[in-house]
A and B are shown apart, each in its own frame.
Chain A
Amino acid sequence: MNRRDFIKIAGLSLIAPQLLAQKTDPTINSKTLVLLELKGGNDGLNTVVPYSDEKYYKLRPQLAVRREQVLQLSPELGLNPVMEKFMPIWQEKELAVICGVGYPEPNRSHFRSIEIWETGSDSNDYLQDGWIARLFEESDPGKLLADGIILGNNEGGPLAGLNMRNIFMRNPKQFFQQAKKLKELQAKTNNNALKHLLKVQQDIHTAAQDLEKKVMENSMAGSQFPPSQIGKQLQIAANIITSDTPVAVIKVSHGGFDTHSGQRAKHDRLLQQLSNALHSFRKTLIEKGKWNDTLVMTYSEFGRRAYENGSKGTDHGTAAPHFMMGGKVRGGIYGKQPELTELKKGDLVYHVDYRSMYSTVANKWWNVSNDFSKDYEMINCIKS
């Protein structure tokens, strides 16, 4: 019996919610995945810089990060200097840099490509549900307060799915105040729009009851977060995790990466905000003993074109590096940096299929298998 059937039966016979707990998978339940979306398509070459490659400086006369400024990770690669707060994480070997992540026949449309990343589909395949939603369909994450909590924007993305219990929250305090006013509703309908409304109302009702006490009591956690949007989101995420609230996935998003023009200053600021916020996040979770139960993974619809455009920016591209970090991460460089001499239509050629990251999360982080386990090689960046 998979989760969808179970929920159906549970719904019909009105099984008390406590009974649902029997299906708990303790692994998922206690280990939180923080999905961090870099919205707009992050420029990988200026994030993890191939500083020893002459070609990089030829392709980017205006935009390149100067060789002597990069924070060296290896003789070939280094971080953009604004990401200095990543270095302690790197030195503690808790930062995995996965190079050259992408997929075959890359699509350069923001919307189509992020859909591919969110659903875990092939380039020419269209799937309905997010990859996390499909994973939970097969492997029940158990009795959680919510399957996913989405902070920062209103897009479920990888968590979007009919049976997912997702909570979208901008401001937790306001959320709880308003949620108290909602009654529990039971109604049957064939109207899809109304069905959706009823489900969202039920999700709010269920989550609000428990979450409030825990999160609000714990709201002092990590007062040292930076005031950026991503800082605020990660602070809320830290509150939720350190309050022992069982939530499988927290999605945060960091926007503004579609840097077609005047990239350098904008992009540097975004990377700096990112590294500062993650630094505070890690520090807080270590203090509260939760860092080993937390995995952060970045994703983005695509990287950017290898060569800069005429507007001191970069156009839509393909492969890019991504990060995983957490107490259980085995730090290091994984995958393979795409060769700048082997561009395809001006774009980087991927070496690691993005679904390898998903497969790694499912198998190594949650110890469950997913549709990708067979087809995509796992990345050895998580300690058992």
Chain B
Amino acid sequence: MHIKHFVIIIFFTMAVCALEYDEARHLLSRTGFGGTPAEIEEILPLTYEQAVDQLLSGLGNGSMIDSPEWTTQLPEVKPRKNKALLQVMSEDQKKQYRRLMRQRRNQKGVHLKMWWYKQMIHTDSPLTERMVLFLHNHFTSSLKKVKFPYLLYQQNMLFRKYVKGNFRDLTQAVAKDPAMILYLDNQTNRKGKPNENFARELLELFTLGEGNYTEEDIKQGARAFTGWMVSKRDGLYQFNERFHDAGDKKFMGQVGNFNGEDIVNIVFTNPQVAKYMVNKLWIEFISPAPVKEEVDRLAKIFVDSDYEMLPLLRALFLSEHFRSRENYAQQIKSPVELIVGTLRMFKVHVTNHRQLVQYGKQLGQDLFDPPNVKGWPGGNEWITSHTLLNRRQMLERALRGNDMFMQRFWVWDYLDKKMKMSSWIGLTSEEKMQKVQLTLLAADPVNKSESKELLAHIKSFVLDLSYQLK
């Protein structure tokens, strides 16, 4: 066969299975922060499966921006106090000193949040960031409680390391993660004086879900994690044998001198872990209403692969339910998705990332500071009269573009000039507006825009309630 014919055949097959514009939009918006017209155009020639595999190949390999300088230095968990100095200080001076230390810590916290926003805006693998966000909301820890930004940064890096790894290994690592140890009080979980906080959440929120364990399992489990601490010297995990309860524990029907690792391993012998996690991933990526049969099928894939994330995510994105048009626009964008998605979509140049941190907070998602150990509830609960008004205000400012912290480099003049997208050439202005709508909105707009001008159209779409959907 002549090579030319071969190419034609390939081209023909591809054309047959190639993505529809709305399918591509859906895939990019559900696995990332939404696609610009150029990003959508880029994957249009691929088959759906190829597009998913391309996204997954970037998972965990995304570009990274520089982190704040202090993240490369090991901190002391207790800021070393100069005892001699403290002794000569007056009460007022001590107060001032403490305030200074607190301010310094808060500054670092803000810088950490700014760093993650930047990372999400600039990454070439939005899926990686979405998965890290998912894990941050699953294995929650907050700056408010942990107090050391460095440890939260380390936890974030831990999620990145395991984002396509083994979920049991990740759970083992999280149990030894210093931020987690401080967040759920394992630092004070000692032999004879157990603190149940971590053991409880491990079972209730991280692996099995409520109703799949007993109060006794929590009590016994807590004993197994005694002595798992953070070193005050270097902020690293440290096993403190003298605080560890080495007695027999009866946990989920088994008896033995279990340590924390054993507990995690026993928990993972229960396939309920897979079901629980698939349900959560479904709600994150597909719809608010998981379908039992399909959850069971996906959970089996998860168990059969010994809790590897990659095969599960692939099956999830290839699921008919993920692809179904019935599930388009059924989810509400999280504040971070709304903010980062809008900035990415319109190539808004942000001059002051501190403001983004502020917006996230006003919209109800303060990164690194989830409201409690269960994380942000998400879904419809993102929207209240308070947050809806703030969302609108944020979007108006982003669109205005002459905001003190955002300069606009938009609007898509590349539709005609820069990008030279083949499929857009020759379209009438009406057809172009159709495509703009298809790019920006997952559902029909609630307000019909009457303007004939492209820019006014875009503004109307972004301020439409449908823009809140994905």
- A residues apposed to B, CB below 8 Å: 108-112, 150, 153-156, 166-170, 175, 178-179, 181-183, 185, 187, 191-194, 196-198, 200-201, 203-204, 207, 260-261, 309-311, 313, 315-316, 345
Contact among B194, B447, B465 for A310, CB-based, below 8 A:
B194
Contact among A155, A200, A260 for B385, CB-based, below 8 A:
A200
| Contact yes or no, B195 A310, CB < 8 A | yes
Contact among B190, B383, B469 for A200, CB-based, below 8 A:
B383
Q: A109-B200, A109-B210, A110-B374 are in contact. Are A196 and B185 (CB under 8 A)?
A: no
Contact among A109, A112, A201, A311 for B193, CB-based, below 8 A:
A311
Query: A residues within 8 A CB of B456?
Result: none
Q: How far, in angstroms, from A168 to B386 measured CA to CA in the complex?
A: 5
A to B CB contacts below 8 Å, 9 in the list = A169-B385, A178-B390, A194-B329, A197-B332, A198-B465, A260-B188, A261-B185, A310-B192, A316-B200
- Chain B residue at smallest Cβ distance from A146: B385
| Contact yes or no, A203 B385, CB < 8 A | yes
| Contact yes or no, A197 B383, CB < 8 A | yes
Contact among A112, A179, A193 for B380, CB-based, below 8 A:
A193
Query: B residues within 8 A CB of A167?
Result: 385
Q: A260-B197, A315-B196 are in contact. Are A154 and B330 (CB under 8 A)?
A: no
| Contact yes or no, B465 A194, CB < 8 A | yes
Contact among B288, B371, B379, B384 for A168, CB-based, below 8 A:
B384
- Distance between B339 CB and nearest chain A CB, rounded to angstroms: 17
A-contact 0/1 string along B188-228, CB 8 Å cutoff: 11101111110010001000001000010000000000000
Q: How far, in angstroms, from A198 to B332 measured CA to CA in the complex?
A: 13
Query: A residues within 8 A CB of B364?
Result: 154
| Contact yes or no, B393 A178, CB < 8 A | yes
Contact among A108, A181, A194, A200 for B384, CB-based, below 8 A:
A200
| Contact yes or no, A204 B385, CB < 8 A | yes
Contact among B192, B197, B383, B443 for A191, CB-based, below 8 A:
B443
- Distance between A318 CB and nearest chain B CB, rounded to angstroms: 11
Query: B residues within 8 A CB of A112?
Result: 210
| Contact yes or no, A204 B389, CB < 8 A | yes
Q: How far, in angstroms, from A183 to B190 measured CA to CA in the complex?
A: 58
| Contact yes or no, A198 B446, CB < 8 A | yes
- Distance between B14 CB and nearest chain A CB, rounded to angstroms: 33
Known A-B contacts: A175-B385, A261-B185, A310-B190. Give 6 more (CB < 8 A).
A192-B288, A193-B330, A204-B388, A260-B188, A260-B197, A309-B188
Q: A154-B387, A197-B388 are in contact. Are A311 and B446 (CB under 8 A)?
A: no
Residue among B196, B329, B385, B469 facing the most chain A CB atoms (10 A cut-off): B385
Query: A residues within 8 A CB of B166?
Result: none
Query: B residues within 8 A CB of A207?
Result: 385
- B residues apposed to A, CB below 8 Å: 185, 188-190, 192-197, 200, 204, 210, 215, 288, 329-332, 364, 371-374, 379-381, 383-390, 392-393, 443, 446-447, 465-466, 468-469
Q: A109-B200, A192-B380, A260-B195 are in contact. Are A201 and B388 (CB under 8 A)?
A: yes
Q: How far, in angstroms, from A167 to B388 measured CA to CA in the complex?
A: 11
Q: How far, in angstroms, from A36 to B385 measured CA to CA in the complex?
A: 20
- Chain A residue at smallest Cβ distance from B184: A260
Closest 6 CB pairs of A and B: A310-B193, A311-B188, A168-B384, A178-B389, A168-B386, A196-B380
Q: How far, in angstroms, from A156 to B377 measured CA to CA in the complex?
A: 12
- Chain B residue at smallest Cβ distance from A165: B385
Q: A185-B446, A310-B195 are in contact. Are A201 and B465 (CB under 8 A)?
A: yes
| Contact yes or no, B386 A309, CB < 8 A | no
Contact among B190, B192, B374, B468 for A197, CB-based, below 8 A:
B468
Query: B residues within 8 A CB of A261?
Result: 185, 188, 195
Q: How far, in angstroms, from A193 to B378 measured CA to CA in the complex?
A: 12
Q: How far, in angstroms, from A166 to B387 measured CA to CA in the complex?
A: 13
Q: A194-B329, A309-B195 are in contact. Are A168 and B188 (CB under 8 A)?
A: no
Q: A194-B469, A315-B195 are in contact. Are A168 and B446 (CB under 8 A)?
A: no
Q: How far, in angstroms, from A179 to B385 measured CA to CA in the complex?
A: 9
- Distance between A122 CB and nearest chain B CB, rounded to angstroms: 14
| Contact yes or no, A260 B185, CB < 8 A | yes
| Contact yes or no, A194 B386, CB < 8 A | no
| Contact yes or no, B330 A191, CB < 8 A | yes
| Contact yes or no, B329 A193, CB < 8 A | yes
- Distance between B390 CB and nearest chain A CB, rounded to angstroms: 7
| Contact yes or no, B389 A194, CB < 8 A | no
Query: A residues within 8 A CB of B446?
Result: 185, 187, 194, 198
| Contact yes or no, A193 B469, CB < 8 A | yes
- Chain A residue at smallest Cβ distance from B469: A193
- Distance between A40 CB and nearest chain B CB, rounded to angstroms: 8
- Distance between B302 CB and nearest chain A CB, rounded to angstroms: 24
- Distance between B323 CB and nearest chain A CB, rounded to angstroms: 18
Query: A residues within 8 A CB of B381?
Result: 154-155
| Contact yes or no, B332 A193, CB < 8 A | yes
- Distance between B78 CB and nearest chain A CB, rounded to angstroms: 14
- Chain B residue at smallest Cβ distance from A171: B386
Query: B residues within 8 A CB of A154?
Result: 364, 381, 384, 386-387
Query: A residues within 8 A CB of B288?
Result: 192-193
Query: A residues within 8 A CB of B192?
Result: 310
Q: How far, in angstroms, from A338 to B312 measured CA to CA in the complex?
A: 50
- Distance between B94 CB and nearest chain A CB, rounded to angstroms: 16
Q: A167-B385, A191-B330, A191-B443 are in contact. Are A108 and B195 (CB under 8 A)?
A: no
Q: A187-B446, A200-B385 are in contact. Are A193 and B195 (CB under 8 A)?
A: no
- Distance between A108 CB and nearest chain B CB, rounded to angstroms: 7
| Contact yes or no, B215 A345, CB < 8 A | yes
- Chain B residue at smallest Cβ distance from A149: B385
Q: How far, in angstroms, from A181 to B188 measured CA to CA in the complex?
A: 51
Q: How far, in angstroms, from A182 to B465 measured CA to CA in the complex?
A: 11
Q: How far, in angstroms, from A154 to B197 measured CA to CA in the complex?
A: 25
Q: How far, in angstroms, from A194 to B210 measured CA to CA in the complex?
A: 30
Q: How far, in angstroms, from A315 to B196 measured CA to CA in the complex?
A: 7
Q: How far, in angstroms, from A110 to B371 measured CA to CA in the complex?
A: 13
- Chain A residue at smallest Cβ distance from B219: A345
| Contact yes or no, A309 B194, CB < 8 A | yes
- Distance between B40 CB and nearest chain A CB, rounded to angstroms: 22
- Distance between A205 CB and nearest chain B CB, rounded to angstroms: 10
| Contact yes or no, A196 B385, CB < 8 A | no
| Contact yes or no, B332 A181, CB < 8 A | no
| Contact yes or no, B388 A311, CB < 8 A | no
- Distance between A37 CB and nearest chain B CB, rounded to angstroms: 13
Q: How far, in angstroms, from A309 to B371 measured CA to CA in the complex?
A: 24
Query: A residues within 8 A CB of B330?
Result: 191-193
| Contact yes or no, A193 B331, CB < 8 A | yes
